[in-house]
Chain A
């Protein structure tokens, strides 16, 4: 009989522990779904739910603050999304906050992100919130399409240009294909080389000629003065910088 009571106590502990575990699990799962917090409801009208599901998270500044309570089609082009949000967060969400559909990670679920507003007026229970159209894949693809169109137009133009060059049309084309033109150009360059060398000699001779000596000396003087002035300016700037640094340190 004594043993029997002992067994009953053990059984009691066993059953109590099991029930407590179950209640803890229910509490934590429920807490995640905001069953035990006070919540407010806000709605957002989207043009496209983009795969959003009931039970997905609502985020504010990257923190989960609520869940999606319901999704329903309003008209043929609008979707109404009801969001359940913790009452503690209500004060941070302003009337001009916006909702945008985002996703949790690369392969994750969809979620709604609320952006902070700056109107100063706090949102009320049951209010509707403005939405931003998300950059969905279709839009990106459409944009890519126009980019590709542009690229094809550019390459067509390029093809025409290269064709012209190959056929010797235009000055660049002549350069590539006209051997006479290239020959002339080559000769011109050689002439230019000699001409510049000759010019250099002439200038050297001019420096030593009596008539122009004074003028060259003046030019050199001016250059030196300019260099000196530059050095002075540099020094002054450095001094000023040092002064400013000192002032800052003193201010601290």
Chain B
């Protein structure tokens, strides 16, 4: 066969590099065991769960009325949240890129862009209830409405939209910046009004990007567990239904089948997003803007847009501020003064707060460096090396992005509670801290890998080749060249994965045993019970931790980062 000698030589060269081979084998084992296998076992369970092979489990769950409603609910919410988030995100992105902004609104925008990184998932649900619920600060005390209900459809839609639109904003901002201003200037020059330019030039160019943003949000929304759990009330979504099926009805096969349904939806969306829209986006918006854009200074455009955005931004920020304030009120909704530190004291004296923080902190701190290192290794292999199995590694680590936490959680229960394929092998893993750490790693791996890949793509391939040529083996190349060059990306991967882990809930809530207390699970529990003071106190401390980590990261990158140093030298 043509080309076969080259391939066999490549293989021989690879085998002559034991560290590299070991790394690849380990990686493939890890990905198979902890991403592929749990999903595979869900499929197995849902087809043979009731004893014999067939679709009886699916027939059974589709007879459950609440499950059918949940599918409808989930898709409806995903749709609405996707559209709203994309629209608000587009507004923010447009204003930032096209409109001249003052210092104040610029600061607001920066804060908004930071929020999705540092925010624990249910913070907005908590403050939504506290501001607009039955005993809400705004509804009850400002507007004197005594029976307002935020639970249910609208609650979830508002909270999810406010949670996810910053992600759309950041995505679309990047795209808008890539549009060459001369395209729009040409249209203006031809006699198009500003509105016409937007609808006939900017929008069509952006269309695939908008679709992309919509689908990403859609996936996030239907995978979201924490918000529907707290603010959903009796309005069930797939994620919460699966959770209740396994924790309430103890129907593990049913939960597995439901998880498969949810997984199919997210995977389908992910496939469209990844292979169709992403390619299209980069095809229409490849070129870099040739020069700066003349910002719109016209007051009739500028004022309404900035005011609108600033109001949305301030509202979101207000909702965040509401949490620490809520933690200081003696009784939310009844007694506001004097402010008190009693909830903070209580969580440490009565509710084992120290243990919760210690457990969450330690487990996240263990998983963060592993995740960061793993994602850097994966990115290095994917971007810089050729070998068989590379496609597998890339696909599976990206696939994890489309797996909702709840699905992964059920997969781990089914996959490890009775050992691998219910044989008892590796059974010891279940219920340990190790499996929690592994879940944390798997949940953060895709983001880390993505940032690692884009960082590595910017590094000239020949730099590593030159080291290799000088006599460094793969391990040496990675440690002396690759890693030092992507220090920033490694550091941000470390912090992001730490923050994601310490704020994670959807998968771990299914896997955590009484041996471990996790902050997020505690917050969920107290919020469910209506003990908002305690939930807020926990959440406040959590926000401080996450925000502190991000600030620390910025500080360290600014001081030690490679990119900074190189920039200064030039």
A and B from one complex: no
